[in-house]
């Protein structure tokens, strides 16, 4: 009996150790290969210039158009999704607490939407564009990406708001607050560190997705100056460079991947620093 | 409503899904006294208290019928704004739930949402209520600090101050000392005795000794029914005949009552 337990314990410890190591190794390998291939091609020119003629054949230029385009697109979509998603998540957790079944149904459908591949969102966005007579543009891309990340953002926020204890809801109501005061003055503050994570998660999906913007934002070598212009994005830029037969261009794709990774890194760090300001008021129940 | 009666519960029935939690509850709670709702865990005493505050509104699958009169207003069937109604009642829960903000704003919260926002007025009120809850001396130098940094006993007193700040007539306390150490518990109990001059206090507890220490009026509940109620002296020292007969009918209750007698 003793021996049996000992072996069992040992087995699962080894299993956990190996799966953790495996994941970390794969992650390191990806980062390493991006850096290994990308860093030599990364130059100030890459970051500060738009593609010149013949860029995709190895001539000079950079991916500034895609950097700016990606930032416009994903920041716009994240803001829009936040404005729509936050009330939904709060509504589910403050107003609908009495209706468990309804909330669980909503959760089920959001999970379904989360699972739909982004190319389907792209196709859906494209259909809407045709219906409205829009051309490929930044605006169409923002709308499509917003639709695509809303389920992610709402569910992630919902998971955070679910952890706010019921007693805090009761307390707030018993002080005479309305439901909306409870939602925006109490729940928001208690959950803010987690909500930042939810926003970051969605931002990461928005900036890294290629399929949903393929039909909707189009591609251009210029930096967009209005919402109705087509826009380049980093994932698509990487895609186009990788499909080139010229090795130099392929390496630039990896340099673009480095840029994309660094952008996500910078935004994560900024958001974490900002959320720490509110963290101190969070009550640990 | 009779004079000196603050809360009158009439034929209150509450179902939690298929569970019949409160069965024909009739309770009279006198004004400016400490009424203790006493009974073992799970007998519905907390539920009864939350019904008085209409907090049962937010629970799923709850059905309530009957009347609860507070100042002649039937709060279960009223058109009145529920938030105003709740402000008349301060709630102290089993464990403190400070709001996720600093100490000052915790107390100011209730005042602000009812429209009182002037800085000088708030400063004065906050000092007043924190003093009332015996917390002022401990926190006056760190009002801007987060409430989560306070000890649990201090947090409970902060919750008391916060509840008092909305200027309630009634204090509902749900086993407010169950998460506290003996000294903090005593502080809260003493505070209640002091506060009953101006407030009607309803205290839910399963601790008989606590009830005997501070109760003026006792409601004894068991399995969702009110078994006995009346002035503390009468309940503890001269249980009425009628209820005693009833108690004898139910063996489990009689054992419980026996235990109560021994503890006395």
Per-residue pLDDT of A234-260, as tens digits, reads: 999 999 999 888 888 888 899 999 999
pLDDT tens track for A137-177: 999 999 999 999 999 999 999 999 999 999 999 999 999 89
pLDDT band for position B201 (cuts 50, 70, 90): very high
Residue A101 distance to chain B (closest CA, Å):
9
- Helices of type H across A52-117: 64-90, 100-115
- Phi, psi (deg, nearest 5) at residue A137: -155, 165
The beta-carbon neighbor of B100 closest among A170, A175, A190 is A190
pLDDT at B251: 44
The beta-carbon neighbor of B58 closest among A98, A177, A284 is A98
Q: Could you say which DSSP state residue B141 is in?
A: T
Contacts of B197 (CB under 8 A, 6+ apart): B32
pLDDT tens track for A183-230: 999 999 899 888 998 999 899 999 989 889 988 998 888 888 888 899
* Bridge-based pairing state of the strands B89-92 and B170-174: parallel
Interface with chain A: mutation pick from B100, B114, B152, B178, highest number of A CBs within 10 Å: B100
Distance of alpha carbon A250 from alpha carbon B70, whole angstroms: 77
pLDDT tens track for A68-115: 999 999 999 999 999 999 999 999 999 999 899 999 999 999 999 999
- Inter-chain CB proximity B58 and A280 less than 8 Å: no
Sign of CA dihedral A231, A233, A239, A240: positive
- CB of B116 less than 8 A from some CB of A: no
Residue B16 distance to chain A (closest CA, Å):
12
The beta-carbon neighbor of B162 closest among A175, A181, A281 is A175
pLDDT at A169: 93
Question: Closest-CA residue in chain B for A98?
Answer: B60
Question: Closest-CA residue in chain B for A285?
Answer: B97
| Strand order through the sheet with B73-74 | B19-30, B5-16, B62-70, B73-74
pLDDT at A103: 95
Distance of alpha carbon A27 from alpha carbon B194, whole angstroms: 64
Question: Closest-CA residue in chain A for B53?
Answer: A174
Interface with chain B: mutation pick from A101, A172, A175, highest number of B CBs within 10 Å: A175
Contact predicate A233/A210, CB 8 Å: yes
Query: What percentage of chain B has pLDDT greater than the value 70?
Result: 90
Interface with chain A: mutation pick from B56, B84, B97, highest number of A CBs within 10 Å: B97
pLDDT at B253: 53
pLDDT at B97: 93
Question: Closest-CA residue in chain A for B103?
Answer: A281
- CB of B168 less than 8 A from some CB of A: no
**Mean pLDDT to the nearest integer, B247-263:** 53
pLDDT higher than threshold 90 for residue B42: no
Nearest alpha carbon to residue B153 among B134, B166, B172, B168: B134
- CB of B193 less than 8 A from some CB of A: no
Residue B216 distance to chain A (closest CA, Å):
25
- CB of B86 less than 8 A from some CB of A: yes
Contact predicate B34/B215, CB 8 Å: yes
- Inter-chain CB proximity A175 and B58 less than 8 Å: no
pLDDT tens track for B44-62: 889 999 999 899 888 888 9
Quickly list DSSP for B21-57: EEEEEEEEEETTSEEEEE--TTSSHHHHHHHHTTGGG
- CB of B252 less than 8 A from some CB of A: no
> In a 3-state reduction of DSSP, which class is residue B229?
strand
ipTM for the complex?
0.85
Report the run of H or E that residue A164 belongs to, with start and end: none
pLDDT at B259: 63
**Mean pLDDT to the nearest integer, A118-132:** 92
Residue B255 distance to chain A (closest CA, Å):
34
pLDDT higher than threshold 50 for residue B247: no
The beta-carbon neighbor of A171 closest among B60, B91, B102 is B91
Residue A82 distance to chain B (closest CA, Å):
22
- Inter-chain CB proximity B148 and A175 less than 8 Å: no
> Using a CB-CB distance cutoff of 8 angstroms, which residues of chain B are in contact with residue A172?
99
pLDDT band for position B209 (cuts 50, 70, 90): confident
- Inter-chain CB proximity A283 and B148 less than 8 Å: yes
- Inter-chain CB proximity B110 and A176 less than 8 Å: yes
Nearest alpha carbon to residue A212 among A85, A90, A74: A74
The beta-carbon neighbor of A174 closest among B89, B147, B148 is B89
Residue B161 distance to chain A (closest CA, Å):
12
- Inter-chain CB proximity A171 and B90 less than 8 Å: no
- CB of B202 less than 8 A from some CB of A: no
- CB of B91 less than 8 A from some CB of A: yes
Residues in A whose CB is inside 8 Å of some CB of B read: 97-100, 165, 167-178, 181, 185-186, 189-190, 280-285
Question: Closest-CA residue in chain A for B109?
Answer: A175
**Mean pLDDT to the nearest integer, B149-174:** 91
The beta-carbon neighbor of A189 closest among B87, B97, B101 is B101
- Inter-chain CB proximity A170 and B97 less than 8 Å: yes
Lowest mean pLDDT among A52-66, A96-110, A254-268: A52-66
């Amino acid at each position: 009996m003793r021996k049996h337990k000992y072996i069992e314990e040992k087995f699962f410890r080894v299993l956990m150790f190996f799966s953790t190591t495996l994941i970390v190794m794969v992650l390191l390998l990806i980062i390493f290969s991006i850096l290994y291939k990308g860093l030599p091609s990364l130059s100030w020119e890459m970051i500060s210039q738009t593609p010149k003629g013949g860029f995709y054949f190895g001539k000079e230029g950079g991916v500034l158009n895609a950097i700016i385009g990606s930032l416009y697109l994903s920041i716009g979509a994240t803001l829009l999704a936040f404005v729509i998603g936050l009330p939904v998540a709060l509504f589910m957790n403050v107003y609908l607490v009495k209706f468990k079944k309804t909330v669980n149904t909503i959760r089920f459908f959001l999970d379904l939407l989360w699972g739909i591949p982004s190319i389907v969102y792209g196709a859906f966005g494209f259909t809407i564009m045709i219906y409205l007579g829009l051309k490929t543009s930044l605006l169409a891309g923002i709308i499509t990406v917003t639709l695509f990340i809303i389920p992610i953002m709402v569910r992630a926020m919902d998971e955070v708001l679910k952890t706010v204890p019921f007693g805090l809801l009761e307390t707030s109501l018993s002080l005479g607050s309305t439901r909306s005061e409870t939602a925006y003055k109490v729940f928001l503050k208690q959950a803010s560190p987690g909500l930042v994570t939810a926003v970051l998660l969605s931002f990461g999906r928005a900036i890294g997705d290629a399929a949903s913007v393929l039909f909707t934002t189009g591609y251009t070598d210029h930096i967009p100056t209005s919402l109705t212009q087509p826009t380049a994005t980093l994932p698509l830029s990487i895609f186009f460079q990788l499909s080139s037969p010229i090795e130099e261009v392929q390496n630039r794709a990896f340099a673009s991947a480095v840029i994309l990774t660094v952008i996500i890194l910078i935004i994560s760090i900024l958001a974490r620093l900002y959320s720490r300001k509110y963290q101190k008021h969070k009550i640990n129940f | 409503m009779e004079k000196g009666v603050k809360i009158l519960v009439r034929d209150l029935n509450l179902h939690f899904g298929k569970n019949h939690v409160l069965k024909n509850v009739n309770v009279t709670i006198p004004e400016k006294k400490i009424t203790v709702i006493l009974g073992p865990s799970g007998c519905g005493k907390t539920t009864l208290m939350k019904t008085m505050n209409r907090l049962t509104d937010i629970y799923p699958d709850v059905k309530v019928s009957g009347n609860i009169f507070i100042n002649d207003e039937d709060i279960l069937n009223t058109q009145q704004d529920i938030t105003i109604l709740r402000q008349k009642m301060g709630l102290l829960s089993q464990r403190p739930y400070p709001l996720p903000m600093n100490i000052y704003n915790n107390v100011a919260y209730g005042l602000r949402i009812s429209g009182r926002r002037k800085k000088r007025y708030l400063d004065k009120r906050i000092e007043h209520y924190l003093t009332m809850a015996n917390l002022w001396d401990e926190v006056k130098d760190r009002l801007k600090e987060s409430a989560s940094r306070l000890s649990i006993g201090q947090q409970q007193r902060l919750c008391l101050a916060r509840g008092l700040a909305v200027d309630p007539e009634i204090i509902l306390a749900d086993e407010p000392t169950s998460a506290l150490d003996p000294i903090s518990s005593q502080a809260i109990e003493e505070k209640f005795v002091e506060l009953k001059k101006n407030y009607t206090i309803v205290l839910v507890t399963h601790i008989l000794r606590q009830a005997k220490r501070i109760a003026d009026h006792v409601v004894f509940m068991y399995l969702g029914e009110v078994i006995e109620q009346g002035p503390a002296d009468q309940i503890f020292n001269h249980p009425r005949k009628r209820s005693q007969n009833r108690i004898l009918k139910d063996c489990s209750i009689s054992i419980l009552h026996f235990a109560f007698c021994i503890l006395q």
